[in-house]
Amino acid sequence: MPISKNQRFGIITFIVLLVAAYLVTTEPWKKDARDLQTSMVAEVPPVDMSLLWDHLSLGYPMASTTDTIRSYTGFDLGYNEQFEQASWVVYILTRDEVQSDLAERTDNFRADTTIKTGSAEPEDYRGSGFDRGHLAPAGDMKWDWNAMSESFLMSNMSPQDPSFNRGVWRRLEEMVRKWAVEKDSIYVISGPLLEPIDTLIGGNGVGVPASYFKVLVDLSPPDHSFMAFLLPNRGSSGDLRIFAITVDSLETVTGYDFFSAAPNQPAIDWMEKQLDIDSWF
């Protein structure tokens, strides 16, 4: 039997009311929104950077090495006996420390007698064509006389091309101090890339790195972010942004696991994969 116009209208009306009732009772769009919010929370887990502030060792770059770990007034380091220099240095730089003028530069380069196996000596660099490049900069240690003096220990030195040490590396050090003033406090890790090493200098056989890295963590709440740099050991007038990489990428290059001892590893892992250049520059 043919369906009349009134019957068709009734059927369509019934279907519309049925769909409307389903939407009102189940509210699927709200479920989608809740799912999106849940996924966003899972993607950006909370992290408390104050723990790094309290415990420098939580940020030590961990690897299968026999580095000798030493603590000084202004920084900690892991000394590599094979290549007679620190594999890494770690310290926190604050606004107050940058703005302090308590200690002047000393230039008292000397062997580090606390390294039981013996450190490099100033004579190892003489006539090599390389600078005694600071890993923990003297410019970051003006807040304390001991910190300034210890920054000239040879355990804190690495052979750097003069155009690198006095150029792009210095520019990056100055930028870190600027960021410390802007952000209040920065966690800093610096070091040489010790594999591979093709050139040795001096009687102690100090290795000449091909590149250097720096890892930065903004410790100031509420927003925290990571930034890493990898720079070849040669002069460059390029913008510092071109050397910026994720911490995760740097871990792949260096073989280190940064912040592996810190709590809330899901948050750390997520942040190590981010590169928010705009929040720094």
pLDDT tens, residue by residue, 116-153: 999 999 999 999 999 999 999 999 999 999 999 999 99
pLDDT tens, residue by residue, 153-181: 999 999 999 999 999 999 999 999 999 99
pLDDT tens, residue by residue, 209-260: 999 999 999 998 877 899 999 999 999 999 999 999 999 999 999 999 999 8
Question: How far from 247 is each of 76, 131, 134, 158, 255, CA to CA, in Å?
Answer: 20, 27, 22, 22, 11
Those residues whose C-beta lies under 8 Å from the C-beta of residue 273, and which sit 6 or more positions away, are 246, 247, 248
What ranges do the domains of the chain cover?
5-43, 50-279
Those residues whose C-beta lies under 8 Å from the C-beta of residue 26, and which sit 6 or more positions away, are none
Q: Identify the architecture of domain 50-279 in CATH.
A: 3-Layer(aba) Sandwich (3.40)
* pTM across the whole model: 0.82
